[in-house]
Amino acid sequence: MKRCTTRLLGVTALLLATACGGESKPAEVKKEAEAPAPAKVEAPNKFKAEREAKAKAAEEAAANKIKQVDALTVLPAKLPKKLAVACEELNTSMDAFMVKWFPANWPMQKTKQLADMKESCIKGTIETAACQANALAAAPEELNKAVPDLLGKCIEKFGKK
Residue 14 lies in a domain: no
Residue 2 lies in a domain: no
Per this entry, what is the length of the chain? 161
Tally of structural domains, the chain: 1
The pTM assigned to this predicted structure is: 0.65
Query: What is the spatial distance between Cα 149 and Cα 73, in angstroms, rounded to a whole number?
Result: 10
Residue 8 lies in a domain: no
Identify residue 105 by its one-letter amino acid code: N
Query: What is the spatial distance between Cα 135 and Cα 143, in angstroms, rounded to a whole number?
Result: 10
Query: What is the spatial distance between Cα 68 and Cα 97, in angstroms, rounded to a whole number?
Result: 16
Query: What is the spatial distance between Cα 116 and Cα 38, in angstroms, rounded to a whole number?
Result: 70
Range of the domain at 84: 50-158
For the stretch 100-152, pLDDT in tens is 999 988 999 999 999 999 999 999 999 999 999 999 999 998 888 999 999 99
The whole-angstrom distance between residue 87's C-alpha and the CA centroid of its chain comes to 36
